[in-house]
Amino acid sequence: MDQSVAIQETLTEGEYCLIAVQGVLCEGDSRQSRLLGLVRYRLEHGGHEYALFLYTHRRMAITGDDVSLDQIVPISRDFTLEEVSPDGELYILGSDVTVQLDTAELSLVFQLPFGSHTRTFLQEVARACPGFDSSTPDPEFLWLSRYRCSEREPEPTSRRCWNSAPGTWPGCARIGEGGPSFEDSRPNGKGLLMDQSSWGQDKPENLLPRQNKSKSEITDMVRSSTITVSDKAHILSVTKFGLRDTIVKSQLLQKEEDYTYIQNFRFFVGTYNVNGQSPKECLQPWLSHGIQAPDVYCVGFQELDLSKEAFFFHDTPKEEEWFKAVSESLHPGAKYAKVKLIRMVGIMLLLYVKQEHAAYVSEVEAETVGTGIMGRMGNKGGVAIRFQFHNTSICVVNSHLAAHTEEYERRNQDYKDICSRMQFCQVDPSLPPLTISKHDVILWLGDLNYRIEELDVENVKKLIEEKAFQTLYAYDQLRAQVAAKAVFEGFSEGEITFQPTYKYDTGSDDWDTSEKCRAPAWCDRVLWKGKNITQLSYQSHMTLKTSDHKPVSSVFDIGVRVVNEELYRKTLEEIVRSLDKLENANIPSVSLSKREFCFQNVKFMQLQVESFTIRNGPVPCQFEFINKPDEESYCKRWLNANPSRGFLLPDSTIEIELELFVNKTTATKLNSGEDKIEDILVLHLNRGKDYFLSVSGNYLPSCFGSPIHSLCYMKEPVLDLPLETIRHLTLMQLQTEDDGSQLDIPKELQMMVQYLYQNAIQQEDLFQQPGLRLEFEHIRDSLDTGTIDNLSASNHSVAEALLLFLESLPEPVICYRAYRSCLECSGNLTASNQVITTLPTCHRNVFTYLMVFLRDLLKNSAKNHLDDNILASIFGSLLLRSPAGHQKLEMAEKKKAQEFIHQFLCNSPLASSSPLLRQPITSPACLSSRAALRGCEPP
C-alpha cells in the first residue's frame, strides 16, 4: 500500500510527498516504528528543496488521521544517509537494511525493509541532495517555518523535549513541549548524501560479488537469529546494465557447469495454520527436535490474525509474537540470520540462513498476491521470497488457498493466479520481472485446503484409526488435481505417512466436535520442484495443540551450485575474448515468425494471447518494444508484450506473448467506439533496425464498463443492439432527470441483485469469497445476451460479478461531482441524504436500490456472518470514488467514504425492503416501477 497518500493529506500547497517507506527508529534499546516521507517543496522563484518528514503512525497509514508528525530533517549540504552494518545483537522485526542518517548536529539509525521499494526510496533521497556546486545557493528551508511551534511554555533545562534531537523541526502535533527554534536549528555545512560517484556508474567495483565479503564483516553483520542480512551492493548501487554485461552474464549462465560444482545444503520447510491464536507453547518440537541443524529455514504461517483490523488495515501484533516464537525455537546448534520476513494479512513467511552462509545470499526480493474477492483481499493468496544462494536461484512460496470441500476449482484458480501474478524485480532493470517458474528450485508450502472427497466423516476417521493412509490418500483432492494436471504440474510431494492435519478441537488431539463437524483432511502440505532435491522427512507434529491444524515440516538436502573462483575467472576471460572479436563484426538482425496479429471477439476481462518467435542472427543483440512518437507507452493499455525487452545470443530464439486484456480502465472507450482493437508495435534492436507489428481485432460491447444512464436506455441486451446505437448511448451526456423513456435501474444490475436476493441472502461470507473466473465469464455473457434464465453459477461468483460491475462504471453510483460533498457531510445523515437527492435520477435509484438490498443482507447476519463495517468497507470504495485525476487521494479518503456508506446501512432505514427485490426478473414492472423506487428513496 502506498502510504505517501496519508502524508500528502498533512501537507500544504507546494509540498508534495514523493515516496514513503515504513521503518524502525533505533535508539539504544528502543525500537519505534516510523513512517519516513521524502517531501519536495516548489520554490516561488523556481527550483525545489527537500526534507525528510518522520511520522509516528497507527496501523498501516491510510489517511492523515493515522499519522502524527514527529520531526523534520531538512536535506541540506551536510545531510548524509548510508547503509551501515548493525552492531550488537539487534532485535528488529521484519527489517533488513540498517541506514544511518547524519547531519552536522543529528544522527539517527533506521531499519528499512529489504527490497525494491527501499532501493527506490534511497535513490530518490540521493537525487534530492543539493550537491557541492558552490554556484548554487544554500537551501534556506523557509517553507518549514510553519512547522515551528510558535507558542511554547518555558521548561526546565533538565527536561528533554519530545523532539529534542538537534537539526530537526518538531511537528505541531505536540505543540507546547518545547524544542529548538527554526533559526537555532537550521543546519549549515557541507556534505552530500552518500558518495554519488558510485550511483549509476558502470564500473566493475560497483558490482561487489557476494563472495567477497570477509568473514569478519559477516560475523559483525550476523550475530544471532534476530539479525537481518542485507546486500549493500544490491541495495545502494543502481548499475546501468549495458548490452555487453548482459551477454557476458548470459554466456556465464550457459557455461555454468564449467566453473561450478554441486554441494548439498540442508533445508527445513515448515507450515502452520495457527487459527488466529497467539503462540502458547514452545515451537522446538516442530522446528528443531530430532534433526541436525538446517542450513536454511523456510517457515510459513496462515491465519496469523483473523480480526477485522488485520483484514482491513493489514496490521497485527501477532506478527511480532510468532516471529519471536520462531526465532527462539530455531536449532540451538547453530546461529541464524533472518534474511526476510514477508506478510500479507494472515499469511507470513520467514527465511533464515546459518550465519556462515549469509555472504552467499543475494538478490533477495519478496512479493505478495491476494486472491480474495476481486483479486484484492489478502485473506487468501500467497507470499513469496526469492533469492540467490551461491549460484542457484530459489523461490519459496507460502499460500493459503480457498476453503470448503466443494471449492477445489477455486483452489486451482488461486494457485494459477499466484503463479501468473507473482513477479519479482531483477537487479538488472533492463530485464523483465522473474516469475515463480523462472527459478532453479521452488519450495511451495501452506494451507492448500484440498480435502478428502467421496467419503463420509465416519469412513475417513475409520481409515485414519486403521492407519490406512494410502487408502485414504486415494480420495485426496490434491492428488486428483495434480494427476489431472490442473495444478502443480512438475511438482513433487513426498509420501504421506501421517494422519490428516485438520480439523482438531483447539488444545487437543480430538477431531472436530463442533456443529459443522469437518471431515479430517491433509490441508497442510509441502511440495517442491527442481533438480538435485532429496526429501529426508515429511511429517506432522501432533504435540502442538495451539490451533485446529497441526504443523507440518519437511527436511530436504538440496544440491546448490557453488562457484569455483579460479575456474570462474578462466571462463569469464574466455567469454570476454570471444566477445571482443564479435563486437564490431556486424549489425544485429533478427527474423520474426509473425508480424500481424488478429484478436477475434475480445470480451471484457477475458484474456487472449497470441505469440511469435524472434530468431537472432550471428550477432548478439538487445531488443525492446519502444514508444511511438508522442505516445507514453509502447502499446495501448489493453495490450502487453511479455517480455517487452531482453537480449539474444547468436542464433538463439525467444518466444514473445502478446496479451490482450480489457478491464475497467479500457472497456468504456471500446464500448463507445472511441478506441478500437488496433495498434502498431515497434520492436527496436540496439544498434540495429526497427520491426513493425500490426495488431487488430474486434471487441464485443458489454454492460461492464457502460455508464448507468446508458444502460437505462438499453431495454434490450447489449449484444442485441446495433453497434452504432451502443456507441451513441455510451457517449450520451448524463442528464439530471430522466425523460420517462428510461428504465429506473439497469436491468443487468437488477438481474444480479435479484439472483443474490433469491439465492444468497443467507450465504456465509458473501462479498468476501472470490468466485470462479469461468463462472464470471458465463455471468457476463448471460447479462450481455439477456439469457439470465440459463444462469448457472455459485453465489460467490454472482456477488463478485456485481462488485466488478460497480467498479467498471465510468461514472460511479455517487457521481464524481458529489464526491467532496459526501466526504464533508460524512457522519451527518441529514446532510448526506440531501446530497443523495441531488444525484441524477438513475444514479439515485441505483444507490437506493443497493442500500435496501444491503440492509436486507444485514438482517440475516446471524447466517451470512456479514456486518455493517464489512459491507461499508467493500462498497464504500465502489460507490464513492475520487474524481478522475485525483486517484492519489483515494486511499487517504477511503475511511470517510466508508463512514458515508456506513450511516445508510445503520441509521434511519431508507425502506424496510424494496418491492423490486421480490419481483421476478422477467416482469416488466420490476424494471419500471417508479412507485416502488420512490418508496425506497431517502427521506
What sign does the CA torsion over 780, 786, 791, 794 have? positive
Of the candidates 148, 149, 184, the residue with the CA atom closest to the CA atom of residue 166: 184
Where do we find the cell 514513503?
20
- Beta-carbon count within 10 A of 132 CB: 11
- Least confident segment among 145-154, 295-304, 387-396, 431-440: 145-154
- Least confident segment among 269-278, 349-358, 577-586: 577-586
Higher pLDDT, 40 or 886: 40
**Mean pLDDT over residues 584-610, rounded?**
91
Of the candidates 590, 578, 595, 579, the residue with the CA atom closest to the CA atom of residue 687: 590
Of the candidates 9, 7, 17, the residue with the CA atom closest to the CA atom of residue 40: 17
Q: Are 716 and 685 in contact (CB under 8 A)?
A: no
| Strand runs labelled E in 595-676 | 596-602, 608-616, 621-626, 639-642, 645-648, 653-660
What are the phi and psi torsion angles at 248 (to 5°)?
-60, -45
Residues 674-695 have pLDDT tens digits of: 999 999 999 999 888 899 999 9
pLDDT of residue 847: 95
Please check the confidence at residue 44 and state whether its pLDDT lies above 90.
no
Q: Are 912 and 936 in contact (CB under 8 A)?
A: no
pLDDT of residue 253: 86
The gap between the terminal CA atoms of the chain, to the nearest Å, is 38
Residues 6+ apart with CB under 8 A from 763: 756, 795, 796, 799, 864
pLDDT of residue 836: 94
pLDDT of residue 379: 78
User: How far apart, in whole angstroms, are the C-alpha atoms of residue 96 and residue 233?
Assistant: 14
- Cell triple for 122: 534511497
Cis check: omega of the bond before 715, within 30 degrees of 0? no
Higher pLDDT, 788 or 293: 293
User: How far apart, in whole angstroms, are the C-alpha atoms of residue 736 and residue 740?
Assistant: 12
Order of strands, edge to edge, in the sheet holding 596-602? 596-602, 690-699, 678-685, 621-626, 645-648
Please check the confidence at residue 266 and state whether its pLDDT lies above 80.
yes
| Type of residue found at 517 | C
- Cell triple for 400: 493459503
- Least confident segment among 83-92, 128-137, 272-281, 927-936: 927-936
| Type of residue found at 500 | P
Residue 36 to residues 18, 169, 209, 355, Cα–Cα distance (Å): 11, 14, 30, 30
Q: Are 842 and 832 in contact (CB under 8 A)?
A: no
Mean pLDDT of the chain: 82
User: How far apart, in whole angstroms, are the C-alpha atoms of residue 146 and residue 549?
Assistant: 55
Could you say which DSSP state residue 154 is in?
-
What are the phi and psi torsion angles at 335 (to 5°)?
-105, 140
Residues 803-812 have pLDDT tens digits of: 999 999 999 9
pLDDT of residue 826: 86
pLDDT of residue 735: 76
- Cell triple for 732: 450520451
Residues 615-630 have pLDDT tens digits of: 999 888 889 999 988 8
- Beta-carbon count within 10 A of 215 CB: 9
Residues 159-215 have pLDDT tens digits of: 323 333 434 444 332 222 233 332 233 233 222 222 222 233 333 333 333 333 333
Highest mean pLDDT pick, 110-119, 232-241, 257-266, 894-903: 257-266
Helix axes 664-672, 723-731, angle to 10 degrees: 120
pLDDT of residue 588: 87
DSSP string across 374-413 = GGT-TTSEEEEEEEEETTEEEEEEEEE---STT-HHHHHH
**Mean pLDDT over residues 315-330, rounded?**
90
Pairing mode, if any, of strands 296-302 and 260-273? parallel
Q: Are 503 and 510 in contact (CB under 8 A)?
A: no
Residues 233-264 have pLDDT tens digits of: 232 233 334 566 777 888 888 899 999 999 99
**Mean pLDDT over residues 808-836, rounded?**
92
As beta bridge partners, residue 382 has 369, 399
pLDDT of residue 650: 87
**Mean pLDDT over residues 636-662, rounded?**
93
As beta bridge partners, residue 23 has 34
As beta bridge partners, residue 111 has 24, 98
Please check the confidence at residue 2 and state whether its pLDDT lies above 80.
no
Residue 764 to residues 795, 796, 856, Cα–Cα distance (Å): 10, 10, 14
Residue 243 to residues 431, 615, 619, 653, 691, Cα–Cα distance (Å): 11, 18, 12, 17, 19
Of the candidates 746, 630, 617, the residue with the CA atom closest to the CA atom of residue 688: 617
Distance of CA 801 to the CA centre of its chain: 22
Please check the confidence at residue 454 and state whether its pLDDT lies above 80.
yes
Q: Are 855 and 867 in contact (CB under 8 A)?
A: no
Residues 6+ apart with CB under 8 A from 895: 62, 63, 65
Q: Are 568 and 666 in contact (CB under 8 A)?
A: no
pLDDT of residue 132: 59
Residue 468 to residues 136, 344, 475, 496, Cα–Cα distance (Å): 80, 37, 12, 11
pLDDT of residue 449: 97
User: How far apart, in whole angstroms, are the C-alpha atoms of residue 911 and residue 507?
Assistant: 47
Residues 146-155 have pLDDT tens digits of: 887 533 333 3
Alpha helices (runs of H) in 450-604, residue ranges in sequence order: 457-465, 469-473, 477-483, 565-582
Q: Are 540 and 552 in contact (CB under 8 A)?
A: yes
- Cell triple for 709: 444512464
pTM, 2 dp: 0.69
User: How far apart, in whole angstroms, are the C-alpha atoms of residue 208 and residue 359?
Assistant: 11
Q: Are 935 and 915 in contact (CB under 8 A)?
A: yes
Residues 732-780 have pLDDT tens digits of: 888 766 667 789 999 999 999 999 999 999 998 899 888 888 999 999 9
Residue 712 to residues 119, 735, 746, 843, 875, Cα–Cα distance (Å): 50, 12, 5, 10, 21
- Least confident segment among 238-252, 354-368, 462-476, 529-543: 238-252
Of the candidates 372, 484, 367, the residue with the CA atom closest to the CA atom of residue 436: 367
pLDDT of residue 821: 93
User: How far apart, in whole angstroms, are the C-alpha atoms of residue 549 and residue 532?
Assistant: 31
